[in-house]
Structure 1
Amino acid sequence: MKFIHTADLHLDSPFLGLKNNGLPDELWEKVHQSTFDSFKRIIDGAIEQQVDFVLLVGDLFDREERSVAADAFLINQLNRLKDHEIEAFVSFGNHDYSTADPASFGYPANTQVFGNQVETKRYPLHDGTVVAINGFSFDKQWITQPVIQEYPQAVSDATWNIGMLHGSLSSLNSPEANYAPFTLSELQEKGYDYWALGHIHKRQSLNAQGTINYSGNTQGRHINESGEKGYLLVQNEGQQLTTTFKPTAPIIWEKVTMSLADLSTDQLAASMLEKIADLKYSKLHFIRIELTSDTNVDPAILNQINNGDLLDELQELNTDKWQQLNCWITSVEAPQVSDVVYSTIDQKYFNQAREATLNDDVFNQVLKDFSKQPAFIKDEVSQADAKHEIYDQAGTILQENVVNPDDVEEDSK
């Protein structure tokens, strides 16, 4: 048995923020097309690997109202699988939830769509073995009840038992209770040979055997979805299942660290671009430059970073060289310098103020203001990486605006 586990395609993702990020038109087209290109490569892989079936575990589309172009593209790729006698099993997630009759989608005969209640689909392979695949599709954006309880136990009259579940491990450090929460023990108690999970965009395995997996999303959409993205190829070696990651994303997001000590501060942008050239990217990269410094940073440089002037200059240079460098700079992060206050007493009170202001209680209170925003905005802001990034940037701004009492006294004279 051999199959592909993939999830979170987010076809036709709008890549919010990038369209107005100064991208050249040709580069923007590559960005907009990237989710489509990645999925096409997954189907190419399914055909080349001659897999028995493909599991698509939710959020195939970025939103409930999928575009005509995205829908047509998906059907075209499913037809490619049909032409090679490869079955496709589809469940919808919190982004592309649906209550429509699966027969109304116009999918080819090789495509089996899970309904809104947990169900089992039995699929015989060419060698006579039988696979029992269990799953369901979201019928609304938020599902707070643990749907895992509705999954049946593994059956003995199937050679392989597989679960498809778009949802969140309850212990993950994010507010995921709205997305069909489950625990690891609840998955293991079902006795399945493999769990194909979706919703969490970071590829990860939840058990030592590597049979309970998030495949991650297929194309990173911002800096907190960095690294290679693609699918998991799963196959049996006797009674054991093994997984192999296959990268397919045409664009890779990455954080690049640079020390100000290694840069020419009078020609900062050009110096930074030279460092990027030394990386010699073989694939298209979208990067955030994270500056570091062991000493206090010139306030003029901090201001240049925080008001966006440095990024504007970088992107102006980048526009003419992105093809040569195979990268686009999306953001610059200011150095985090620990000692910027002017006396031990001042530093003590500054640290106390920072701890009182930048903590989880305050953050969660602010997060409530996002309740009326589209779900994906709250999802992204809630991620641990995003929270730490907000803390760091807020701390930098606080540091930059700390006023030396001696300066105030001097100014008043």
Structure 2
Amino acid sequence: MKFIHAADLHLDSPFLGLRQLPNALWQTLYDAPFTALRRLVDDAIATQVDFVLFSGDIYDRKERSIAAQAFFLEQMQRLQAAAIPVYLSYGNHDYTTGSSDNLQLPANVHIFGNDVETFKLTTTDHLHVQLTGFSYANRAVTEDMAVAYPEKMAGADVAIGLLHGAVAGVSTEHATYAPFTVAELQLKQYDYWALGHIHARQVLHEAHPWIIYPGNLQGRHVKETGAKGYYLVTRAASGELIPEFKAVAPVVWENNVVDAQQITSSEDLLAAIKTALPALPESAEKVTLTLIAVTLKHATTLPETVQDRLQNGSLLAILQRQLPAQQMVVRIDETADDKTTTALTDLDQAYWQAATKQVFTTDNLTRTAGQLLAEPLFQAALANPQTLNNLQQGAESLLKSAGKGDEA
């Protein structure tokens, strides 16, 4: 018996903070989650797995794009043609309030309802498989759903639980939905827990049972680094389950740290960054693009001219032109110990300058101030030619500060 466990496809998810890239490169990024899923289906058919599990967040939002729906339907039809069943639960990003919200997927796709339920499957080698799970009825499922999962049933050779949630009491950057404990899952006597929701690949418990987060299928931003993919799980002759991670993401994120303390020129800084970049993959067949975020330690020791070129984005633009097509440095930041400024590309600067000409005008300020202009203090401020410049600088500072958050 063999099966695939994947989660958090986020098919219509944007790559955050990268809309300023050239169109051809942006298309590569947009296609990446779709490419990763197509590769998973290719592998499922090639290895003749018995079934495929998706543990939540097929889509990035309840309002699913037509392109994402059509693509997912096409891939499920490919699995149907290969006689491979699919067991699917919806998570907090693609929650459903009823069957009317679901895609009209082919008959090989079995969707868990909003209450915990169990499907049964007999594989081609006559193994009886118990599959238990649920789909989110709304975005925030805060109760412990694992308590409703039945124990391994009599006659089941393999029991699998699909659960989109987080370990109770463990702080992560993801909300703690459907909280559970590892001990609680162990008590169910299942053989495998197919988790979803946490985007970092993790094995919470090894064997008896396996409790695994496969991570998301394609990293979407700089906090989701490294190879991304799914688990292929094989049942050995002894009855043991053997999970093996398979990378399918065409775009990989990496973080690099460069110490700038001894650097005295822009040329030296560019050379140091390029030296620290990860090596290109041996095969471009799987990883077609590596997106890199560079963090500078001791950036405040750099000469003022170099700091200026970092702040206006000119050094980043030069670096991007010097790298091979398979690599892209998307940002250069300072460490938290330094006074961080957000690096802007030339295109960002052009858009900002065009916007400031339209927004920061005396007419706009007058309309916005309204009745406040009856106050002498505001009349004096409006008469001061420096007021618009001060407002513009304040707005830029606020936007840069907000932009430091990956999801801002």
> Normalising by the residue count of structure 2, what TM-score does the alignment of the two structures yield?
0.76
Q: 1:302 to 1:95 in 2, by over 3 A?
A: farther
Q: 1:102 to 1:50 in 2, by over 3 A?
A: farther
State the shift of 1:83 in Å. 1.0
State the shift of 1:302 in Å. 7.9
Partner of 1:288 in structure 2? 293
Q: 1:11 to 1:177 in 2, by over 3 A?
A: closer
Deviation by residue 1:55-102 (Cα, 9 ceiling, x = unmatched): 001000010000111001001000111111111001000000012317
Count of equivalent residues: 337
Amino acid corresponding to residue 84 of structure 1 in structure 2: A
The correspondence of residues 280-359 of structure 1 with structure 2, limited to 5 A, is 280-282=280-282, 283=287, 284-293=289-298, 297-298=301-302, 300=304, 303-304=307-308, 308-309=311-312, 312-322=313-323, 324-335=324-335
State the shift of 1:24 in Å. 1.5
> Is the partner of 1:105 in helix, strand or coil?
coil
The correspondence of residues 157-196 of structure 1 with structure 2, limited to 5 A, is 157-174=155-172, 178-196=176-194
Amino acid corresponding to residue 300 of structure 1 in structure 2: E
Distance 2:229 2:190 in 1: 24
1:203 paired to 2:208? no
Partner of 2:42 in structure 1? 44
Deviation by residue 1:339-392 (Cα, 9 ceiling, x = unmatched): xxxxxxxxxxxxxxxxxxxxxxxxxxxxxxxxxxxxxx9xx96xxxx89xx9xx
State the shift of 1:328 in Å. 1.1
Amino acid corresponding to residue 189 of structure 1 in structure 2: L
Deviates more, 1:263-272 or 1:252-261: 263-272
State the shift of 1:321 in Å. 4.5
Q: 1:55 to 1:301 in 2, by over 3 A?
A: farther
State the shift of 1:196 in Å. 0.1
Distance 2:314 2:275 in 1: 15
Same amino acid, percent of matched pairs: 38
Distance 1:333 1:3 in 2: 42
State the shift of 1:194 in Å. 0.3
Deviation by residue 1:218-267 (Cα, 9 ceiling, x = unmatched): 11111110000000000111221111000000011001122325756242
Amino acid corresponding to residue 247 of structure 2 in structure 1: P
Distance 2:214 2:329 in 1: 27
Distance 2:328 2:186 in 1: 43
> Is the partner of 2:17 in helix, strand or coil?
coil
Distance 1:245 1:104 in 2: 29
| Cα pair 2:258 2:273 within 8 Å, conserved | no
Amino acid corresponding to residue 250 of structure 1 in structure 2: P
| Cα pair 1:276 1:325 within 8 Å, conserved | no
Deviates more, 1:102-111 or 1:195-204: 102-111
1:58 paired to 2:56? yes
Higher alpha-carbon Rg = 2
State the shift of 1:171 in Å. 3.2
Distance 1:127 1:298 in 2: 66
Q: Which structure 2 residue ranges, 5 or more long, are not aligned?
A: 339-401
| Cα pair 1:269 1:313 within 8 Å, conserved | no
Deviation by residue 1:21-77 (Cα, 9 ceiling, x = unmatched): xx1111100011111001111111111111000000100001000011100100100
State the shift of 1:330 in Å. 1.5
State the shift of 1:16 in Å. 2.7
Distance 2:101 2:268 in 1: 58
The correspondence of residues 16-165 of structure 1 with structure 2, limited to 5 A, is 16-20=16-20, 23-101=21-99, 105-165=103-163
| Cα pair 1:24 1:319 within 8 Å, conserved | no
Deviation by residue 1:248-295 (Cα, 9 ceiling, x = unmatched): 0001100112232575624256435642678345531111112234x9
Distance 1:271 1:256 in 2: 14
| Cα pair 1:264 1:271 within 8 Å, conserved | no
Q: Which structure 1 residue ranges, 5 or more long, are not aligned?
A: 339-376, 391-413
> Normalising by the residue count of structure 1, what TM-score does the alignment of the two structures yield?
0.75
Pairwise CA RMSD of aligned residues? 2.8
Q: 1:278 to 1:227 in 2, by over 3 A?
A: closer
Distance 1:334 1:206 in 2: 33
Q: 1:301 to 1:251 in 2, by over 3 A?
A: farther
The correspondence of residues 261-276 of structure 1 with structure 2, limited to 5 A, is 263=263, 265-268=265-268, 270-272=270-272, 274-275=274-275
Partner of 2:258 in structure 1? 258
Distance 1:105 1:91 in 2: 13
Q: 1:313 to 1:104 in 2, by over 3 A?
A: closer
> Is the partner of 2:242 in helix, strand or coil?
strand
Q: 1:194 to 1:86 in 2, by over 3 A?
A: same
Distance 1:201 1:162 in 2: 20
| Cα pair 1:215 1:230 within 8 Å, conserved | yes
| Cα pair 1:52 1:86 within 8 Å, conserved | yes
State the shift of 1:211 in Å. 0.7
> Is the partner of 2:301 in helix, strand or coil?
coil
Q: 1:35 to 1:153 in 2, by over 3 A?
A: same
Amino acid corresponding to residue 24 of structure 1 in structure 2: P
> Is the partner of 2:88 in helix, strand or coil?
strand
